[in-house]
Amino acid sequence: MEEKIRLFLKRKFGDAVLGEDNFRGDQSFFISAESLFPICEALQDSGELDIKFLADITAVDWQGHESAKDGRFEVVYNLYSLSHCYRFFLRVRLPESNPSVSSLTDLWAGANWMEREVYDMFGITFEGHPDLTRILTPDGFEGHPLRKDFSITYEQPMFNWNKDNPPEVIK
């Protein structure tokens, strides 16, 4: 299965596949941001590969790590084939300034909330998303909690008990 997907990607999108990795049996392909949508579209229509299930979208913030030189953010797409029971990952690296990638909501309706969550937590924008708003944090929240430079105990002054006297941030 792994071989088939590799061939499929190589044949159709030779240059777009930047590399691959197999860690503890989890196969992943590194692809460029602009080729994400066409690759996913092709995979969805790939017939016998039967990759129709988008299990998850998430992101990793590599700030402060040596691999951040390829781009600070890594968006991870978790794809699954129901008939072959096979899972693999597509990874897209995004730069620190203006991280943005095209939205998959046109292909999978389930991508809607997953992308909103990534936007809320990391501040990565998804172009073409119908309703890219915060989903978990309250309205008027500042910052993106899962970024590494966001302090975990940060208390945003939102209520009158800490509005005038904002608490100290412990780094």
Partner 1 sequence: MSEVRTLNLNMGPQHPSTHGVLRVALELDGETVVKAKPVIGYLHTGVEKTMESKLYHKALPLTDRMDYLAPMSNNLGYCLAVEKLMGIEVPEKVKWVRACLAELTRVNSHLVWVGTHGLDLGAMSMFLYAFRDRETILDIYEACGGQRMMTSYFRIGGLAKDIPKDFDKRVRHIIKEVRKGLIDYEKLLTENEIFIKRTKGVAVISAEDAINYSLSGPMLRGSGIKHDLRKANPYSGYENFDFEIPIGKNGDAYDRYKLRLEEIRQSFRICEQILDGMPEGPFRAHVPGVVLPPKEDVLHKIESMIFHFKIITEGFKAPVGSVYQAIESPKGEIGFYITGDGTNTPRRVRVRPPAFVNLASLPKLVEGGLFADVVCAIGSIDIILGEVDR
Partner 2 sequence: MGLEEKIPDSIMLTTLDKMVNWSRKRSMWPLGFGLACCAIEMMSTFAPHFDLARFGMEVTRPSPRQADLMIIAGRVSRKMAPVVRTLYEQMPNPKWVLAMGACACSGGVFNNYAVVQGVDRIVPVDIYVPGCPPRPEQLIDGILKLYKEVEKDSLKVHSEKLGRKLG
* Residue 138 touching partner 2 (CB under 8 A): yes
Where does this chain touch partner 1 (CB under 8 A) — which range of 12-20, 31-39, 128-136, 163-171?
128-136
* Residue 168 touching partner 2 (CB under 8 A): no
94-132 residues labelled b (16+ CB within 10 A) or e (exposed): beeeebebbbbbebbeebbebbbbbbbbbbbbbeebeeb
Between 9 and 38, how does the x/- string for binding to partner 1 read (CB under 8 A)?
Answer: ------------x-xxxx-x----------
Residue from 36, 40, 49, 62 touching partner 1 (CB under 8 A): that is: 62
Size of the residue set binding partner 1 (CB under 8 A)? 41
Contact indicator for 108, 36 with CB cutoff of 8 Å: no
Q: How far is the CB of 67 from partner 1 (least distance, A)?
A: 8
Binding residues (CB under 8 A) for partner 2: these are 137-138, 145, 150-156, 158-159, 161
